[in-house]
Amino acid sequence: MSETEIVDGRGFVMTRTDTSPMGIPIRFRADLSEFSIAKTEGKSEQINLHLTHARLQLLRGFDELLCLEGLSGVEHLPHQIETVRKVLRRFRGRVLLADEVGLGKTIEACLLLREYLLRRLIRRVLILVPNPLVSQWADELSGKFHLDFTIAPRTATSNCDEFWTEHDRVLVSTSFARTGLRPKAIASASWDLVIVDEAHHCRNRTTRLWKLVNSLNRRHMFLLSATPVQNNLVELYNLLTLLEPGHLKTEADFKKQFVTRGNPRDPRNRQRLRELLGEVMIRNTRGLVNINLPPRYAQTILATPGQEESQLMNDIQQYLRAQLTVIATKESATGKTSISSFDSKQQASDESEQDISEGFDGTSVETSEIEPQALTASNGKTGLSRMRLHAILTAMGSHPATAAVALEPLAMTDRVARELCNRAGRITHSAKDQKLLQLLKENHAHKILLFVGAIRTLHRLQALLTEAGVAYSTFSGEQSANEKDAAVEQLKSSVNLMICTESGGEGRNLQFADTLINYDLPWNPMKIEQRIGRIHRYGQTQDVYVFNLCTAGTLESRILRILNDKIRMFELVVGEVGSILGNLDEGQEFESIVLQLWQKASDEQQLDADFETLGDTLVTAQEKYLDAKSLDESLFGEDYE
């Protein structure tokens, strides 16, 4: 036991060390930094007020979860809350969350993260996720859980130790983290919590990712994977060794005890293995938590554009391609590439804000993973950046009026763009409008959510519906909370249609609606899934119908084709798309891939062929996922808890 030690000038803060019976040093500190002895005129109720405050602070015990308050758009599902409690109490912050797809592993991890942060049990957090899921995580963390994370920039900054020690909350893609100088830099910092999504990528001990995660100095760790075992049981051993080294003893011991000789996928001593897994792993299944959703049906409605609209779309694409050629020529002449001249992060952020103010929501290409493949000319005059290009192309898939808005910044300096902008503005009714009205007429008895990606499109549709005499309510990011509530109430009681922007109905119970129309399509399949998830979710009792409107020949029609025909996305369980995209391990965000395909293709045939190849890649990723899913189901059973 050491003597009292004066720590600061106030003379009262002191430290002393004692030891527990087994020798854990207990360092005592009296902290008087926030206690004033100057005022002594307190009344008894005032003293009691201080005590009440302290007692209320104590109520922040694990019985009362703090993380559930103040969330946006997160339903409190019993199995998720139970999982949070289990991890807090029994698992002490080291767990493999292996819920079946769609049951909300990410939500559970974020709830736990929030709980630990609110209780001040942790401060420094590192989240490692596959590249295609980075923006999804960033959106959920900030939008639903109000937790801001720094996304590791794709610059030399990320190679420095200082970046990782200076930032307390970092989100980084696994492929980026495990390469170059990053592993050493990341491991130089100590972390209170490390979260690894799609953790089955750490299944092999010889990989750089496994070594990176193993080298991290961390107190708590959550590994997330619906399919922890992809090929053989040793992968499970490797994962759990990351979590609790020695829990399954050595690999040789593990194989001897738990793996059938000659068949590395077949476990022996199942009961004992299950007991050991139960100490470090939680797996909720649909059967266990009783979430069985009614069927979902999807239909694509292809609209053939009129001559004016079709010509306009072609001309805009030609114009954009010509701009790219100009940039490429300038670059080769100056020997300077726009890649290095583009301050991507700043520009991406500036443009994103600008686009949102213009009303277009779907501009977040690669804001998380700053790919230095910008398109801005080195003189900056064309203003055609990667973000702008994406904005224009997606706007074209939405409505000509929205395309006009997206072209406006270019139209300020370019005569051709101005002319295209004017032509787009003149088309008041797009090919999809007629199809939409027809669809609404056929489904007039259903409660319908009509999704649009852009505010300008929403305004156009409002005019169209009013003109056609269709009653509707509107739910958009422009509205106050009360107005949004009123819109939902209106849909429930007096109208059958609600037009929504991307955030539509988030956090509200919309399961009374059974039909969803995508007037336009986000390029990111996760966002499409989010839209569907608004009504095809826990609590839905009716069959759900999804209609995808799209104009023939657009990029959206190609995306739809591969998602629908190749992986049958609209029949998948919510969450499976993420698992498939997560298998595109080295991949970029899906939106970036689409944009790159468009950039690379010299004509429509090549674009079709490239999309076909992308579709095949998705099929391979899906097969990989399904194979692992089937193995994990046979391994853990339906009743694993």
Partner 1 sequence: MSRTNIESQLSDFATALVENSGGLIDWHADGSQAIVMVPNDLAKSLGQRHDTFLVKTQPSDEGLSLSLGGEFLDLAGRTLRQFVPSIGIFAMEDISVKKTEFSAIVDASFEWQNARCKVLQRNPMILPYHTWWFHASLQSEENWETIIPVTINARSGVCLPITELMNLDGLKPAKKSLAEVSETLEPVLRFAEAETLRMAAPFIQRIDARRERDRKRLQDYYRALLQESFMPNKRTKMMPTGEEIDSRNKAVKLELHRKLSEMDERYSCNAVLRPIAMAEVQMPSIAIDVEIQRKVQKRIFRIFWNALTRQLEPMLCTRCQGSFRSFWFTNEIVEPVCSSCHNKGQNC
The footprint of partner 1 (CB under 8 A) covers 4, 12, 14, 16, 18, 20-32, 34-37, 39-60, 63-70, 92, 118-119, 121, 217, 219, 244-247, 249-250, 252-253, 481
Of 254 and 472, nearer to partner 1 (C-beta) is: 254
Label residues 246-261 b or e (16+ Cβ within 10 Å = b): eebeeeeebbeebbee
Minimum distance from CB of 38 to partner 1 (Å)? 9
**Would you say 161 or 331 has its CB closer to partner 1?**
161
Q: Are 141 and 119 in contact (CB under 8 A)?
A: no
Say how far apart CA 190 and CA 356 lie, in whole Å: 37
* 561 φ, ψ (degrees, to nearest 5): -60, -45
Of residues 279 and 627, the one with the C-beta less far from partner 1: 279
| Shortest Cβ 382–partner 1 spacing (Å) | 41
What are the CB-based long-range contacts (under 8 Å, 24+) for 597-604? Answer: 598/393, 598/555, 599/324, 599/389, 604/553
The Cα 268–Cα 258 span in angstroms is: 4
Q: Is the dihedral of CA 190, 195, 198, 200 positive or negative?
A: positive
Instruction: Return the closest-CA partner of residue 130 out of 571, 639, 581, 604.
Output: 581
Element (H, E) at 221: strand 217-224
Residue number, 400 or 505, with CB nearest to partner 1: 505
**Shortest distance, position 39 Cβ to partner 1, whole Å:** 4
Least distance to partner 1 from the beta carbon of 23, Å?
A: 8
Which lies closer to partner 1 via its Cβ, residue 51 or residue 445?
Answer: 51
Task: Determine phi and psi for 265, rounding to 5 degrees.
Answer: -95, -10
Nearer to partner 1, 45 or 586 (CB): 45
DSSP assignment, residue 10? T
Smallest gap from Cβ 29 to partner 1, in A, equals 5
Burial class (CB in 10 A: 0-12, 13-18, 19+), 141: buried
CA distance 151 to 368: 6
> Which of 43/415 has CB closer to partner 1?
43
| Smallest separation (angstroms) from partner 1 to the CB of 170 | 20
| Least distance from partner 1 to the Cβ atom of residue 177, Å | 20
Our CB check for partner 1 shows the closer of 255 and 330 to be 255
